[in-house]
Amino acid sequence: MLVTLDNLESLLSALEQSDSLEGMQRVIEALRAHYGVAHLVYHWVDSRGDQYGCGTYSDAWRQKYLDETYLRIDPVVQGCYQRFHPVDWKRLDWSSKAAREFAKVAAEYGVGNQGFSIPIRGPNGQFALFTVNDTCDDRTWAGFTQSNRRDLILIAHYFNEKALEFEPARQPGQQQPLSPREVDAMTLIAVGYSRAQIADRLSISEHTLRVYIESARFKLGALNTTHAVARAMSRGLIVV
Amino acid sequence: MLRYVYADQLNQCPRLKDEMFTHRADQFRTRLGWDVSVDARGHERDEYDALNPLYVIWETAEGGHGGSTRFLPTTGPVMANDHFAHLVSTPIRSPLIWECTPFCMAPGQGPNVAAALMLGGGELMNGFSIRHFVGVFDARMVRIHCRVGSSPEVLGSTGEVRGKDATGLALDFGSSIWRPRTASQRVQVSRRR
């Protein structure tokens, strides 16, 4: 499960450029191969119970899930709905008879024994889940989630941003603007200043600078600062 | 003990719920004189309590509310972005940056409760890969944070918050007590690269 960041960044660029659910599907399949896990799933659940998304679960399992209306008993959806912290499936309540039966059927359809789900709360009550699923022992799984949790949280939100773009009411290319401080920070990083120099120049502490860089990174859909600077430049948000 | 409770789970601990909102009214309206809304039950609530936030609550040995704070990710509406754009360069947005509200202390509780709440914040950081907390605090709360070992940093200059002086802060819960774990996480990130 070795992960190289360069590859991840190129996958995120592909995600940003995709303009359809099929494009998202191709990216999630590549991400699954990249992480070397059994499954990756992006699952949008709206307040009316409509479902939408992409992922690597089999067509048979997706159909079974819909036919049996598993949404109502799936402990992952029930346990994550309206939450905002990532959850290991082992910490969910699988004790009911319906949940145990659901888990048994899921396994028959190729769903692995380990799961890690990231709930995402979008605008106006929008809700989605991004799930990594695999078959391995607890120790291996704990190591994997610990090492990749931060990136997975960001990637989960980038999938959701992309899915929101496809909403009829949304304007295409509606990107979050950088705040004045974020523009300052990105510009000075781009011209090669060190963090200490930037903090000094902006008359803020390095810690505060890190907050602005973290926020800018998210708005730019990047995992690391180098990638964030490249994106800010290509979007014309900073001029060097 | 520390309790981590989402708003929609508060009904499972009615005493903590009632006392937390009552103590918030005591602290923010009565003691600090902030212009907050208090309902007929004597509970202080705002629109962010309706967004199913996560509360970290110190439960006393007697089962009462000893102190609490409220968390929301900055990907959604938060006070710092909505009301304090004059204090910080906003909006700050990231699932790895959460807003933390000023600690509410029950009457008679000392710095040990603030320290416990800091520990709760540190646990959230470690467990959920949160990099930073931001919040809007008054000068008195800044002193409390300094006493219990966090190193709050001023994001913006002072201004008026609900009629009182206030300061926008980035809270570094990663200092002192939590530094070792934060450092080990960094090691793993660099190993992976």
B54 forms beta bridges with: B6, B71
- Residue A80: which of A98, A70, A93 has the closest Cα? A93
CB-nearest partner of A150 from B90, B96, B151: B96
Chain B residues lying within 8 Å of A155, measured CB to CB: none
* Nearest beta carbon to residue A212 from set B6, B73, B89: B89
* Burial zone of A120 (CB within 10 Å; 0-12 exposed, 13-18 middle, 19+ buried): buried
Query: Contact, B95 vs B75, CB < 8 A?
Result: yes
Closest-CA residue to A227 (of A24, A6, A2, A19): A6
Residue B189 dihedral angles phi and psi, to the nearest 5°: -60, -45
Question: Per-residue pLDDT tens for A147-189?
Answer: 999 999 999 999 999 999 887 776 655 567 899 999 999 999 9
pLDDT of residue B132: 86
Q: Is the pTM of this model over 0.90?
A: no
Q: Which two tokens stand for residue B182?
A: 């934060």
If you count them, how many residues does chain B have? 193
> What are the structural domains of chain A?
5-165 (3.30.450.80), 180-234 (1.10.10.10)
C-beta atoms of A157 and B95 within 8 A: yes
Higher-scoring residue by pLDDT: A34, B175: A34
Q: Which chain A residues are closer than 8 Å to B74 by Cβ?
A: 215
Partners of B149 in the β-ladder:
none
Whole-number pLDDT of residue B185: 30
Q: Read off the pLDDT of residues A109-150 as tens digits, 9 standing for 90 and up.
A: 999 999 999 999 988 888 999 999 999 999 999 999 999 999
DSSP letter for each residue of A104-133 = HHHHHTT--SEEEEEEEE-GGG-EEEEEEE
How do beta strands B54-59 and B2-6 pair?
antiparallel
Residues A48-69 have pLDDT tens digits of 778 889 999 999 999 999 999 9
Domains of chain B and CATH, by start: 2-192 (3.40.630.30)
The minimal CB distance from B153 to the residues A149, A205, A214 is found for A205
Count Cβ atoms within 10 A of the Cβ of residue B14 and give its class: 0-12 exposed, 13-18 middle, 19 or more buried.
exposed
ipTM of the complex: 0.92
* Higher per-residue confidence, B135 vs A21: A21
Q: State the pLDDT at residue B32.
A: 80
Nearest to B99 by CA among B118, B74, B122, B121: B74
CA distances from A215 to A202, B153, B190 (A): 17, 16, 21
